[in-house]
Chain A
Amino acid sequence: MAVRPLMLLAVALAVVGCAPVDDTATTAAPTTSTACTKEQLSLLTPGKLTIGTDKPAFEPWFKDDDPSNGQGFESAVAFAVAGELGFDRSEVQWSTVKFDAAFAPGDKQFDFDINQVSITPQRAEAVDFSKGYYTVKQAVVVSEKGKYAGAKSLAELKDAKIGVQVGTTSFNAVRDVIKPADDPDVFNDQIDVVTALKNDQVDAVVVDLPTAFYVTAAQVENSKILGQFSSTGGTPEEFGLVMEKGSALKPCVDKAVDALKSKGELAKIEQQWLGSAAGAPELR
């Protein structure tokens, strides 16, 4: 019988014995010099910039589910930021990072992650965001034959069954702005949201505006955008690049985003990939 307590002890010791994998740089990153040259950046893989995004990567943010081809808005932005930091295309590597892995504690699999992540103060407590690279609006998509096809205001959607994708601020937009009588349906993937709309399982879906244009143009026949609206009352909602909390890279990435903005580069990329996503009527 003396074996059992010993074994317990052994287990306890084994737990303790999992020697902490201590990386030397767990504490707050040293406040770096503002020099953002490639050599001085602290990177996951030295000499390479590792960028994370989810898979599948959807249009119009990426093209052909291949972030490394430089096509699609976010792929283009990522390569532009990399370029500002001094990396050429061969020095950029992509890694697949699920949405919730981007903010999990512990070592990150990316230098920065680009995945249509909206910046909110609460989220910023867990990760570092770069400055916003895109100002996003929410949009309502309905079936052309559905009973809400003629709706002109958000108030008319009160009784609609609405579908959204989990993790998106679209859910908050629905809850806070449309305030439907019924809870919205929440799906894992954009594909599931689209399927629910196709099946008439939901009356309307709420997605960000560029996605809405892609949904209506390529994914769901006979669907249309009712209009766009802002999920937040005051401050505009922006997408930001996600970095580890206390990332030494942040000042440099911020500088790069600012530079792209002031040079008009970001606007150009936006025009190229999301250009069509302009004129949708404002819903109130």
Chain B
Amino acid sequence: MSEWVKSERQVERERVRRSRARRSASIATASTIVFIVLVVWGITSSPGWPRVRETFFDGEQFVAALPDVLEGFLLNIRIFLISEVLILAIGLLVALARGIRTPAFFPIRALATLYTDVFRGVPTILVIYLIGFGLPALKLQGIPSDKATLGIIALTLSYGAYVAEVFRSGIESVHPSQVAAARSLGLSHLKTMRFVVVPQATRRVVPPLLNDFVSLQKDTALVATIGPLEALRQAQMHTFNTFDYTPYLAAALIFILLTIPMARLTDHLAARTRRRRGA
């Protein structure tokens, strides 16, 4: 048998495909360039631009502020990592508590509902104030005096309520037949949850959870209101010293650098879930 050769038609087909791909690529490139040029031109030709460039894009100020902002950012990361773990635990517990149907445990269920209602409704900054200034004002023994710790408690309370709702939606999305099947196999309610429902639920809620955590990363900046020197506060102090806003830009960049990988990870996980479902 002679070696397989592409038919003329196939060759032609591939040529057309290639040229189409080239064409769309060049159109995309051109339109991107036109878009960017128009936007840049529009901004830089505005009458206030020199002043804006001076106040927001001052290279010297950027370099001067960056070390302090980075140092502050370590605190953001610490707050973020610790509260994330706590939030997951609290969120799951509260979600499970809300699912309890045994009459005797009604108070627990009511408490869990009250918790999510209250802490989702109260602005995070107020929770931080209440915990940050309110708890120490009690002057009780054993209340942490470290402000970052107080901030972690406040963020955990606030975000725990959100995450509990995310978990609950995941748990409720597991089809009742799964529970029925587990119960008919003789698993107790607890075991049904542990081995059947929660594993499926968790997989489904990973993208929204990561979304909440991206938001948490930014909200660590709110902890600054009760004292500690985190990234945004460091930037703010440089700004107030020099009356130049560039340090804020430095802080923004650092926050973005942290949230972008997180966002891509979310996308990746969502895509994987889609693939696994065979869609």
**Interface on A for B, CB 8 Å cutoff?**
5, 8-9, 11-13, 15-18, 20, 22-23, 26, 99-100, 103-106, 120, 122-123, 125-127, 163, 166-167, 171-172, 183, 185-188, 192, 195-196, 198-202, 245
Contact = CB atoms under 8 A, between A and B. Distances in A.
Contacts of A167: 236-237, 240
B147 A185 contact: yes
B208 interface: no
Nearest to A2: B27
Nearest to B150: A201
Contact of B241 (A11, A172, A199): A172
Contacts of A13: 38
Contacts of A183: 228-229
Interface in B14-61: 27, 31, 34-35, 38-39, 41-43, 45-48, 51-52, 54-56
B242 A199 contact: no
Given A123-B242, A200-B139, A186 B48 contact: no
A121 B238 CA distance: 14
Given A22-B47, A166-B236, A201-B136, A5 B27 contact: yes
Interface string B230-251: 0001001101111111000000
A100 B242 CA distance: 11
Contact of B243 (A122, A186, A187): A122
Q: Lowest 3 CB-CB distances: which A-B pairs, in order?
A: A185-B227, A16-B42, A126-B243
B237 A171 contact: yes
Contacts of A195: 133, 137
Nearest to A183: B229
B39 A12 contact: yes
B51 A186 contact: no
Contact of B48 (A99, A105, A126): A105
A163 B229 CA distance: 11
Nearest to A123: B243
B136 A200 contact: yes
B35 A9 contact: yes
A122 B35 contact: no
Contacts of A104: 55, 245
A9 B34 contact: yes
Max chain B CB contacts within 10 Å: which of A100, A125, A201?
A: A201
A187 B55 CA distance: 24
A126 B229 contact: no
B136 A166 contact: no
Contacts of B51: 105-106, 245
Contact of B35 (A8, A125, A199): A8
Contact of B52 (A23, A105, A199): A105
A126 B236 CA distance: 15
A40 to B, nearest CB: 25
Contacts of A198: 137
A183 B224 CA distance: 13
A47 B159 CA distance: 52
B240 A106 contact: no
A185 to B, nearest CB: 3
A195 B132 CA distance: 10
Query: By CB atoms of chain A within 10 A, which of B139, B225, B226, B240 has the most?
Result: B240
Contacts of B42: 12, 15-18
Nearest to A202: B227
Contact of B237 (A26, A127, A186, A196): A186
Nearest to B224: A186
B145 interface: yes
B56 to A, nearest CB: 8
Most buried by B among A100, A183, A186, A195: A186
A9 B30 CA distance: 11
B222 to A, nearest CB: 11
Contacts of B47: 20, 22-23, 26
Given A186-B237, A192-B225, A199-B136, 9 more contacts: A13-B38, A16-B39, A20-B48, A105-B56, A122-B241, A123-B241, A127-B243, A195-B133, A201-B227
A103 B236 CA distance: 13
